[in-house]
Structure 1
Amino acid sequence: MYSGNRSGGQEYWVDDGAASSAGPAPAGTLSPAPLFSAGAYERLALLLGSTGLLGVGNNLLVLVLYYKFPRLRSPTHLFLVNLSLGDLLESLFGVAFTFVSCLRSGWVWDAVGCVWDGFSRSLFEKSSSHKCIRNAI
């Protein structure tokens, strides 16, 4: 999957007042040229924000119901709680970096942030193991 990282000498805004092929730079910035239009970034931020909020809300609801009702504490429901916890963590940590980057029209984190984003998504996705279930069916 393409991450939108533009490293390696591609068009960068320069704060010298001269117009480059990427267009004039906002005052005081040194940033890569945006990958999408401003409207596309707004729509992506809206989509990611709503996905993150729904993921957090629904998975918290599952965890609260499991905690509140003791009769739900069976091995099958514990497996569902594991899936819900993994998805909750992915909704919190996996979506946050990309959501903020969409709000700012490009990746705003350094290399460590990029590594953490990929690591957290991979870790929480594997911990919930819903892909293993989907592939087994």
Structure 2
Amino acid sequence: MWSGNRSGGASSWEGGGAAGGGSPGPAGPLSRAPPFSPGTYERLALLLGGVGLLGAGGNLLVLILYSKARRLRTPTHLLLVNISLSDLLVSLLGVTFAFVSCLRNGWVWDSAGCAWDGFSRNLFEKSSSHKYIYGAF
């Protein structure tokens, strides 16, 4: 079976070939079947787009309300603003890569895009203190 890992080259088969020590892989060209059907990618894009829009809109609303209403400027609300800003960044920068990939029926970014996607989601989630508020370390 083809593992999908490109580290062994385009003709590597999992558990086969000269480097694998087993029997050679099947004859013929390798085909990369997409993991999901096109309809599933459309539904995932719709879901991710909705989550991104709702997340961005709701968190922008929180930030605008905090900046306009002076009575909301308390230390507790500042903590909520920190969470809202972090979630806004995840909604804008974290969801974008997966959304575009779903629109194009597969991951379209290179390894740097993959690294940025994982780094940005992890950074923005860790910069928020909501995990410590709710007790989920």
TM range (shorter): 0.7 to 0.9
Any stretches of 5+ residues in structure 2 without a counterpart? 14-27
Separation of aligned partners in 2, 1:33 and 1:129: 41
Aligned to 1:39: 39
In 2, distance between residues paired with 1:95 and 1:132?
A: 23
Identity %: 66
The residue that corresponds to 1:131 in the other structure is 131
SS in 2 for 1:121: helix
Runs of 4+ in 1 over 4 A off after TM superposition: 19-22
Equivalent AA in structure 2 for residue 103 of structure 1? L
Residue matched to 2:22 = none
Output the amino acid matched with 2:49: G
Larger Rg: 2
> Partners in 1 of 2:111 and 2:136 — Cα distance?
35
Alignment length, in residue pairs?
Answer: 117
Match of 2:91 in 1: 91
Tell me how far apart the structure 2 counterparts of residues 74 and 66 of structure 1 sit (CA, whole Å): 10
Alignment-derived partner of residue 54 in structure 2 = 54
In 1, Cα distance between equivalents of 2:111 and 2:42: 24
- How many Å separate the matches in 2 of 1:63 and 1:54? 14
State the one-letter code of the partner of 1:52.
G
1:20-31 equivalences under 5 Å are 22=31
Which residue does the alignment assign to 2:74? 74
Aligned to 2:18: none
3-state SS of the aligned residue for 2:135? helix
Superposed CA RMSD in Å reads 2.3
TM-score by length of 2: 0.77
Deviations 1:74-117 (A, max 9, x none): 00000000000000000000000000000001100000000000
User: For residues 75 and 44 of structure 2, what CA distance do their matches in structure 1 show?
Assistant: 38
Could you say if the C-alpha distance between residues 20 and 46 of structure 1 is closer, same or farther in structure 2, counting changes exceeding 3 Å? farther
Give the drift of 1:21: 7.0
1:110 maps to which residue?
110
TM-score (norm 1): 0.77
